[in-house]
Structure 1
Amino acid sequence: MNSQFERFGLEPFIIKAINSLQFYKPTDIQERLIPSILKGESVIGQSQTGTGKTHAYLLPVINNIDPAKQEVQAVITAPTRELANQIYQEVLKVTQFYDGSEQITARCYVGGTDKQRTLEKLKVQPHIVVGTPGRILDLIKEQALHVYTSNSLVVDEADLMLDMGFINEVDQIAARMAEKLQILVFSATIPEKLKQFLRKYMDNPKYSHVAPNQVTVTSVEQILIPSRHRDKVQILHDILLKYNPYLAIVFTNTKVKADEVADSLIKKGLKVGRLHGDLSPRDRKKMMKQIKDLDFQYVVATDLAARGIDIEGVSHVINFEIPSDLDFYVHRVGRTARAGYSGIAATLYDPSDEDAIVKLEKMGITFKQQDLRNNEWVELGARDKRNKRKKQLNGLDIEAKKIVRKPSKVKPGYKKKMKNDMEQYKKRQRRINKRTK
């Protein structure tokens, strides 16, 4: 079967790599951006996780490398070590198929590694640099890494880069690169502060936006589970056992809550991993390896794990809490149903989450409502039934107010009397409605 990527005019070794990765049809964002990147144009790709954006830039960037020139030709920046390492591994999966006399070399530079050894190895410059902005800038300032030869810069997860305070380092890296610079920016959202950076370096870039509802609705079954003032950790424990997932990620909003939930589940006998910003670089690396080795069936994480980090085989995502920034809901759900597989995203919600759920529904997300009772799934009716009933009662209140009018001359206690009269009227109306039915 011929790959549909062939029509982009990619090098034969890239097509071999694509076949090895079992890609057949380009995703929406790949379809839109690969031709522009191949031509050396700057692009902005706005899309959620799981849309194939990494290969949307990797394939054309690697395709454009000239192995005969032993100099830096592309710099790829990522906000976290895990994401940088992940991108680097994807680069190696493609470059291994190059069969020319020269090699295409790539190196990954992140904090928490031996800087002296890195400096020694930089006597020969790699073609492709992948890493976190802080470490890349550090190596540039040491005059060990020569990025001035590179005319291609990738800024992945740009809005998270901004949130974590790294956009200034990216700015300094860009300022040291070739004057005619191709910048490839990929981001879930484009906040105003990020636009300032884009305007500084990008002149009329190609812009492509893949809408969130194209990402989450098709292959993920999205379920709402009401907490009903019960012990949420106990409900979580029960639904995890009932789902019996291949791998489930449980999301919380804070590091403190992640530890609290993980500790509670461990006390209940589950083997649980955790992934959040308070782990040391060494512990995070160890945890990622354990997760990939399937040492854990359940992982409790903060939104750090929802942005860009690719954990294979996630069959279930559980939102222990709805994120305050609803864009993160889409990132979380994007951890499952990757590469054409289906997945389940379950959200535990309290009455106070009603507004957030309504906003998610307006974003195009369709929920099923279920509950776990006596270890069996029970389909619940529409969530807005109670609201409809309230609206009916409100209508009755209005009618009662019309009937029970405020007296022209008020006396002490008239408000209480009016309220009693209205309640009596509503009781009579309810009895009449019942009889009519």
Structure 2
Amino acid sequence: MTGAATAEKPKEKTKAKQRYLRRKKERRKNKPKTKTPEDKNLVVGPKELEEESNSEEDKTDAEESPIEPEIGESAKVPERPSKKRRKVAKDVEDVEMEDAEMKTVEDSLDVQLSPQAETNQPTLPSFPLPVHPDAPSKSVLALQGLDQALVGAEIVNPTQSLPIPLDEADGGTGLSKKMRKRLTDLGITDLFAVQTSLLPFLLPDNPLQRALYLPYNPPRDVCVSAPTGSGKTLAYVLPIIEILSSRIVTRLRALIVLPTRDLVAQVRETFEEIGKGRGLKIGTATGQQSFSHEQSQLIADRTTDLKGGSSKVDILICTPGRLIDHLNGTPNFSLQHLRFLVIDEADRLLAQSFQDWLVQVLAAIRSPPTRSLDVNPIGQLPSFPVHDAVAPTFMSLLPYPDIPTFPTERKESSCQKLLFSATLTRDPGKIAALDLRDPKYFVIQGSKGHEADSGILDVVMEKFSMPSTLTERMVVCETSQKPLIFFHLVHAHQVTNALVFTKSTESTTRLVRLFDYFEEARAKTAMAGSVKQMVVRAYSSDLSPGERKSILEKFKAQEIQILVCSDLISRGIDISHVSHVVSYDVPIDMRKYVHRVGRTARAGRAGDAWTLVEEQEARYFKNVLREADHLDKVKKVKIHEKDLAPLTPFYETALGQLKEVYTRT
């Protein structure tokens, strides 16, 4: 019992232990709450700090009150501190040394930054903060990479004109008296700006420069950018007929490449009217007839291998696809005698490959590499193949070598390239692909500023000039109200003799059918004979060539009041009585807009252009016009509900009939 009680009694603390605990408590009470800079620089974990504190306290207590060993125990040798404690102590010493070094550096800085030192030593220079450089202007960026010939283009005022004289003098036109009389008979008394600038360049006074072959002094190529309806077709028809009229033998000397079949037919009519009585033979190749039939119309001899080629026509007007077919598959079809290569609507043709037609045409114009003379066995005469006359540049095709008169002379192709477009391409790569020879650029553009290069900047940045007689308007409407607003324009604003452009052939067919139902509903409710029904027809690629030709002739004869079409005929087609152009669907870019509205206000006549803009398309279309600096030229027209109310019942009836038709189909 006594032993158990003795075992449970807690062990009393020694005096040394009590003294240690008391001092430890006092140190904790007096410990500062914030760390000193020296403590901040010392990065030690909490466990190491506690062990260090305990070791220091134990060491202090041992020094102040040494504990004598009990009887029977031998004096123990103090143990060596553990590895962790030695590491902490070393870190403390390193921190103390760093503090001492920092203090020395601060003292030296105080000496250097003293007033005496500041007066003796100059201050450090201050530099401005880095900033972004100013971005280059749009005009500077637009001219980057362009051909220097394009930058230095000749700017021609679109209002410039030149009367055609009837006396012996040509009046600076370069035209013969016979040609001037023919133009007068056709009612053409003045030349437009593009013609007045281009004809003197293509028809120089020196008769040697009008020759059919110029192998040692080839003519310069020409690029023309002019508004639609400014007379670009006549600008190249006149010099071609004037120069080719001196030919004796029929050769293919002029090649005109156009994007559409309809434009081919129109240009052929112009050539036939202007060149009447000159004896020039004109042919076309568009694919509307069979390939063998076209071969028989173009080539005189398809059985004999003629090095100089064979041709029944002097002038060939074609589309690029059919041209490549004849170039690869028609015997004796040769371009070596070409004097003119005309690429009309150049921006569109260069944007489409058509089996790399441009590369193949340029290769057919260049002279072939020189071939060595075939060596025949002894005693045999050299075999000369049957050949017709070849061009001077293609003499290497003959079986004997072409020895130059002078060692330094070099023959070049006499073909002169003429590029025409209302929206001339601004891509330097496409222009370089044409392999132009010292090109001369003509830009028909009104000056909008005092800068000398403002005209070419307007062309490059797609700021196109429109005819002064053109009035442009746009109507912003809801999508569901767009057909009704179009019908309102037809009846309230007398929009007849009009071309209406849609975005696809499906839209064309649907709009024509809806308009027919609308006119039928309007005619039924009106008094007999009081309403004249409008005649509307579709003109699209779904129709056969014969149907399209018939519809176009009826429209020219004004038997059809409104012609709804896609962008198929938005380029180059010249119909004199078109007084209105309606963009039922917004054009995707400024180029299409220019070509659409260019179908009216041609040759000085007045015309109106309307654009129906859906609400979700308004911002995009305005940005397109704003970038071309043309937004202020297009007037915004508002049409109220009360204006549409009289036509709404007929429109709803037509919509119901159209719904029934499409439901059945």
Q: Does 1:183 align with 2:449?
A: no
Cα 1:227–1:88 change in 2 (3 A) is same
Choose from 192, 217, 223 the match for 1:27: 192
User: 2:517 maps to what in 1?
Assistant: 267
Count of residues in Structure 1 that have an aligned counterpart in Structure 2: 372
Q: Choose the corresponding residue for 1:70, options 238, 242, 250.
A: 250
Task: Please tell me whether residue 81 in structure 1 is matched to residue 261 in structure 2.
Answer: yes
Listed one character per residue, the Cα deviations across residues 94-152 of structure 1 (whole Å, up to 9, x for unaligned) are 11143xxxx12211221111333332233152111111122233223312533221121
Structure 1 residues 72 and 229, CA gap change in structure 2 (3 angstroms): closer
1:111 corresponding residue in structure 2: 287
Corresponding residue number in structure 1 for 2:487: 237
Bigger shift: residues 262-271 or 42-51? 262-271
Pairing of 1:196-275 with structure 2 (within 5 A): 196=430, 198-211=432-445, 215-228=465-478, 231-269=481-519, 270-275=534-539
Give the structure 1 partner of residue 630 of structure 2. Answer: 364
Aligned residue for 1:209, secondary structure, equals strand
Deviation of 1:359 (Å): 3.6
| CA distance in 2: counterparts of 1:224 and 1:150, whole angstroms | 46
In structure 2, relative to structure 1, the CA distance for the partners of 1:171 and 1:27 (3 Å cut) is farther
SS in 1 for 2:365: coil
Contact 1:223–1:368 (CA<8 Å) still a contact in 2?
A: yes
Which of 540, 547, 566 in structure 2 is aligned with 1:276?
540
Does 1:345 pair with 2:345? no
CA separation of 1:166 and 1:189: change in aligned 2, threshold 3 A? farther
Shift of residue 164, structure 1, vs aligned partner: 4.0
Does the 8 Å CA contact 1:171/1:197 hold for their aligned counterparts?
A: no
What is the Cα deviation at residue 12 of structure 1? 2.0
Structure 2 equivalent of residue 169 of structure 1: 357
Whole-Å Cα distance in 1 between the matches of residues 354 and 346 of structure 2? Answer: 9
**Residue type matched to 1:335 in 2?**
R
| Native 8 Å contact 1:246 1:313 kept in 2 | no
Distance 2:535 2:247 in 1: 47
In terms of mean alpha carbon deviation, does 115-124 or 296-305 score higher? 115-124
Q: Is the 8 Å Cα contact of residues 261 and 319 (structure 2) preserved in structure 1? A: yes
- Once the two structures are superposed, what CA deviation does each residue of 1:267-287 show, in whole Å capped at 9, x if it has no partner? 212432222333343433333
Which amino acid in structure 2 is aligned with residue 268 of structure 1?
F
Aligned to 2:208: none
Question: Matches of 2:562 and 2:620 in 1, distance apart?
Answer: 29
Relative distance call for 1:295 and 1:301 in structure 2 (3 A) is same
DSSP-derived class of the 2:560 partner = coil
* Separation in structure 2 between the aligned mates of residue 351 and residue 114 of structure 1, nearest angstrom: 48
Distance 2:198 2:429 in 1: 19
Letter in 2 for 1:129: L
Q: 1:341 to 1:300 in 2, by over 3 A?
A: same
1:3 corresponding residue in structure 2: 164
Do the aligned partners of residues 301 and 143 (structure 1) sit closer, same or farther apart at CA in structure 2, a change above 3 Å counting?
Answer: same
Q: Which of 289, 305, 317 is the equivalent residue of 1:130?
A: 317
Query: What displacement does 1:23 show?
Result: 2.6
Maintained 8 Å contact 1:162/1:194:
no
Q: TM-score, normalised by structure 2?
A: 0.52
- Counterpart secondary structure, 2:582: strand
Secondary structure in 2 matching 1:332: helix
Unmatched 5+ stretches in structure 2: 1-161, 205-218, 301-310, 367-412, 446-458, 520-533, 645-665
Q: Specify the SS of the correspondent of 1:113.
A: coil
Which letter maps to 1:304?
A: L
CA distance in 2, matches of 1:304, 1:163: 16
In the TM superposition, what whole-angstrom CA distance separates every residue of 1:353-404 from its partner, at most 9, and x where no partner exists? 134225425533512333345559xxxxxxxxxxxxxxxxxxxxxxxxxxxx
Aligned-partner Cα distance in 2 for 1:150–1:227: 53
1:257-315 CA-to-partner distances (Å, cap 9, x unmatched) read: 22222221122124322223333434333332332233311111222211112223111
Aligned-partner residue type, residue 3 of structure 1 = I
SS at match of 2:638: strand
In structure 1, how many angstroms separate the alpha carbons of the residues matched to 2:349 and 2:580? 27
Deviation, 1:195, is 4.1
Normalising by structure 1, we get a TM-score of: 0.77
Please tell me the residue identity of whatever aligns with 1:68: I
Spell out, residue by residue over 1:228-252, the C-alpha distance to the aligned partner (whole angstroms, 9 max, x if none): 5651101101211223345111112
Task: Identify if the C-alpha distance between structure 1 residues 214 and 20 changes in structure 2 by more than 3 Å, giving closer, same or farther.
Answer: farther
SS of residue paired to 2:283: strand
Contact persistence 1:326–1:356 (CA under 8 A):
no
Q: Which residue is 2:239 aligned to?
A: 60
Partner secondary structure for residue 7 of structure 1: coil
CA distance in 1: counterparts of 2:581 and 2:476, whole angstroms = 16
* Greater shift in the superposed pair: 211-220 or 231-240: 211-220
* 1:285 alignment partner in structure 2: 549
- Structure 1 SS opposite 2:313: coil
Aligned residues of 1:317 and 1:332 also touching (Cα < 8 A): yes
Q: By how many angstroms is 1:42 displaced?
A: 1.0
User: Equivalent residue for 1:16?
Assistant: 181
The alignment status of 1:304 with 2:554, answered yes or no, reads no
> What's the secondary structure of 1:186's corresponding residue?
strand
- Matched residue SS, 2:564: strand
Separation in 1, partners of 2:467, 2:512: 29
% identical equivalent positions: 27
255 and 81 in structure 1: CA distance in 2 versus 1, 3 angstrom threshold: same
Three-state SS of the structure 2 residue aligned to 1:79 is coil
**Larger CA deviation: 278-287 vs 23-32:** 278-287
Name the aligned partner's letter for residue 9 of structure 1. Answer: G
Q: 1:224 to 1:27 in 2, by over 3 A?
A: same
Partner of 1:423: none
1:167 and 1:47, CA in 2 relative to 1: closer, same or farther beyond 3 A?
Answer: farther
SS of residue paired to 1:330: helix
Whether the aligned pair in 2 keeps the contact of 1:153 and 1:174 (CA below 8 Å) is: no
CA-atom RMSD, angstroms?
Answer: 2.6
* Alignment-derived partner of residue 414 in structure 1: none
Provide the secondary structure at the position in 1 that maps to 2:612: strand
The farther-off stretch of 277-286 and 128-137 is 277-286
1:408 maps to which residue?
none
1:199–1:138 Cα change, 3 Å: closer
Indicate yes or no: 2:336 matched with 1:156: no
Map 1:26-45; keep pairs closer than 5 Å.
Answer: 26-39=191-204, 40-45=219-224
